[in-house]
Amino acid sequence: MKIKPEILRSKFIGSLLGLAVGDALGMPVEGLTAEEIRLKFGVVKEMISGRLPAGCYTDDTEMMIGVAESLIENRGFNGEDMVKRFIRNFKFWRGYGYGPIKVLEMIKKGVPWEKAAEKLFGGEGSYGNGGAMRIAPVGLLYYDNPEILRSVAYKVARITHANKLGMEGAAIQAYAVALAVMEEPHKTLEVEDFITKVYMFSCDNIFRDKVRLVKQLLEKNSVDKFEVISRLGNSIEAFNSVPTALYSFLANYESFEDAVIYAVNLGGDADTIGAMTGAIAGAYYGVEAIPKRWLDRLEGRPYIESLAERLWMIKHTD
């Protein structure tokens, strides 16, 4: 389908702001269980303060910004430049995972950027979701080319996440953003078709099994959120959160707001599952679907919007 330039622009902005909004909404409840969230807040649906003031984003968005900046300046992947931006943007208090902190420290001390990530976790590399949480700009820039999308997603993730599961999670998340970009918003989404394409794209058995489970859950009439949490996961590993974000979007695709509220209220890695769901839902709907009350409170909105706009300009003038 040929997408009108104005719609594509709105989808690009919607995806990056959607990511940031999901991150900020989930920030105060990251690490709580769904039950703890329910007892403490009822349902989280407003920007509230937590470790950071209300509306602030965390490492998820900060790293996405580094990815977008670097892709724009280099008109594609440049690892050395991307690493420099990760280091320049890094603020400890955003709440980074252990892996990226270590990798960026090693590189600052002189370890080559291509080598640092593979030293983590006994030489296995990280399978955390830190590659997937920041990958949306890759899904946008290469939405029309799954092969390049996969190879760039692997490279972007690999800077900090050398484990193949960490890289595969990033590729799947980028692909979901790309599929959402290509869908016509406000038409009935072919959920089965969407999830089948993700299944076909997945290269790894752990992810294929999880994506198949997402499909099975979507086929059921009503699914308890505790079943979603126990079967798909809501934790920090890529395979316990990327499929969960996919499910959160597909089970609630009628509304950006509902999808993101659903995602963050699953608890666990709430900011990241919120961010990944928001990136897909925003790419599907466009920025108009994001509640104004969330955008009004979001830190850094004009800058994030300008990055999305510049990514769109690259596509537009290609």
Which of Mg ion, ligand R7I, none does 50 bind, CB closer than 5 to 8 A by kind?
none
Residue whose CB is less far from ligand R7I, 183 or 237: 237
Closest distance of CB 20 from ligand R7I, Å: 13
CA 231 – CA 42 distance, rounded (Å): 23
Residue whose CB is less far from ligand R7I, 154 or 285: 154
SS3 content of the chain, % helix, strand, coil (to 5): 70, 0, 30
Residue whose CB is less far from ligand R7I, 100 or 282: 100
Which of Mg ion, ligand R7I, none does 81 bind, CB closer than 5 to 8 A by kind?
none
Residue whose CB is less far from Mg ion, 59 or 257: 59
Residue whose CB is less far from ligand R7I, 72 or 236: 236
- Residue 204 CA neighbour count, 13 Å, CB half: 18
54 phi and psi angles, rounded to 5 deg: -55, 135
Distances (CA, A) of 259 to 23, 55, 170, 204, 282: 13, 18, 20, 26, 10
Which of Mg ion, ligand R7I, none does 139 bind, CB closer than 5 to 8 A by kind?
none
CA 275 – CA 277 distance, rounded (Å): 6
Which of ligand R7I, Mg ion, none does 168 bind, CB closer than 5 to 8 A by kind?
none
Find where tokens 């999830």 sit: 195
| Interface residues toward Mg ion, by CB under 5 A | 58-60, 95, 269, 271-272
Find where tokens 């602030």 sit: 56
| Interface residues toward ligand R7I, by CB under 6 A | 58-60, 95, 97-100, 121, 124, 126-130, 133, 163, 236-237, 269, 271-272
CA 2 – CA 58 distance, rounded (Å): 35
